[in-house]
Amino acid sequence: MRPWIVDTGASDHMTGDAAILQNYKPSNGHSSVHIADGSKSKIAGTGSIKLTKDLYLDSVLHVPNLDCNLLSISKLAHDLQCVTKFYPNLCVFQDLKSGKMIGNAELCSGLYLLSCGQFSNQVSQASCVQSQSMSESFNSVSNSKGESMNEHQVWESFLEGVPSFHSESPNPSQFAPTELSTPMPPSV
């Protein structure tokens, strides 16, 4: 299976590979998606996929002309009620209510890719060399008491000092700036 690319511009989760989807339903063939290059591609169907223990994607579009898997950040945030935090070499998906990390992606060749160790399916070795070397380094990590730590514990330890997104209010506008520092251009 190809890696999943974290995409802030995609409106839906998409794949070119119908074989990875569960509960597949063919579409009527009349719907299409606009690709970043300006072209349109037909939607052949929809399905679901479990990428990790906590990342289950529903209504994934099967777009046969697509040669990659796209993870839509806006759809992920809405459907799983999570926030995505981007760091220079990592992005983290965090549950809004509990603050628990539910997934992460590592920067590889300019793209954030879901980490290999998180897939519930078999992933090709070639796309995961960087992720595997990072996971191997987790095996030799110990906490301050000299106890061995697993990958999940290492990530939690890493994120301990990172501010999390906790809110008693479901109103995300409280986190939006009240003024824009740069005026918006007039609409055309």
By annotation, the residues acting in catalysis are: 7
Are the C-beta atoms of 114 and 131 separated by less than 8 Å? Answer: no
Within 13 A of 188's CA, how many CA atoms are on the CB side?
0
Tokens read off for 98: 């509990």
Tokens read off for 59: 């209504």
Are the C-beta atoms of 90 and 79 separated by less than 8 Å? Answer: no
- Give the DSSP H/E element, type plus range, for residue 19: none
Which residues are paired to 62 by β-bridges?
15, 45
Separation between Cα atoms, residue 91 and residue 68, nearest integer Å? 19
Instruction: Provide the pairing of β-strand 45-50 with 22-26.
Output: antiparallel
| DSSP code for 134 | H
Which residues are paired to 57 by β-bridges?
49
